[in-house]
Amino acid sequence: MRWLLLAMLAVSTPALADDDAAGEKGRPAEKGTLGVGIILGEPTGITAKLYLKDDQAIQASAGAAFVANGLQVDGDYVFHPWILQDKETFVLPVYVGPGVRLIDYSGGSQSSSHFAIGLRAVGGMLFDFKNVPLDAFVEVAGVLEYDFKSGNGAGLGLNLGAGVRYYF
């Protein structure tokens, strides 16, 4: 897997697309800037992404955190510093950025419900299709959170997710 990623980065070229057919970083001009869809993983629920520029966006998700046993809302400001692309069918941006997470742990039968807030560091890759208003993505985020339950304090968490979005 590591070799595949290194090979893709080695053969990638900067995303310089035609000005009349796409934006500065290869994003199709006819595709909308707001995408809404589903995310599976941690959390599982709904997701949205709003492009501010061709290489910057705000993304958010809300849903059930099955591993953490609670309800989660998160938001990130992401940059697309590297873009691999097939000039005909898709753009493959890698994204990174800071974010926040709010989670209400339900606790189950073993403990009471409690709330935590955290900072996220997210990284991912998406397949941004040129011919249809869809993207598919995979991402991972590390979380440094503060749990407001007495005695818990600061802790680390991990979010993994994959999903699709339709753009308007």
Q: The domain spanning residue 108 has which CATH number?
A: 2.40.160
**Domain annotation covers residue 3:** no
Task: Assess whether pLDDT exceeds 50 at residue 35.
Answer: yes
- Does 16 have pLDDT greater than 50? no
pLDDT tens digit string along 116-154?
Answer: 999 999 999 999 888 899 999 999 999 999 988 767 789
**12 within domain boundaries:** no
Alpha carbon distance 127, 153 (integer Å) = 38
Residue at 21 is within a domain: no
Distance CA 37, CA 18 (A): 28
- Specify the pLDDT at position 107: 62
163 pLDDT more than 60: yes
pLDDT confidence bin for 87, thresholds 50/70/90:
confident
Does the residue 106 lie in any domain?
yes
What is the pLDDT, as a whole number, of residue 39?
98
Q: How far apart are CA 60 and CA 39, in angstroms?
A: 10
For residue 68, tell me if it sits in a domain: yes
Please tell me the predicted confidence (pLDDT) of residue 118.
96
Higher-confidence position of 2 and 76: 76
Structural domain range at position 106? 36-167
pTM (predicted TM-score): 0.78
Q: How far apart are CA 127 and CA 137, in angstroms?
A: 6
Q: Is residue 111's pLDDT more than 90?
A: no
10 occurs within a structural domain: no
Q: How far is CA 150 from CA 145, 153, 154, in A?
A: 14, 7, 11
User: Amino acid identity, residue 164?
Assistant: V
In a domain, 78, yes or no: yes
Mean pLDDT of the chain: 83
pLDDT value of position 148: 83
Cα diameter, the chain: 59
Q: Would 81 be classed as within a structural domain?
A: yes
Domain count within the chain: 1
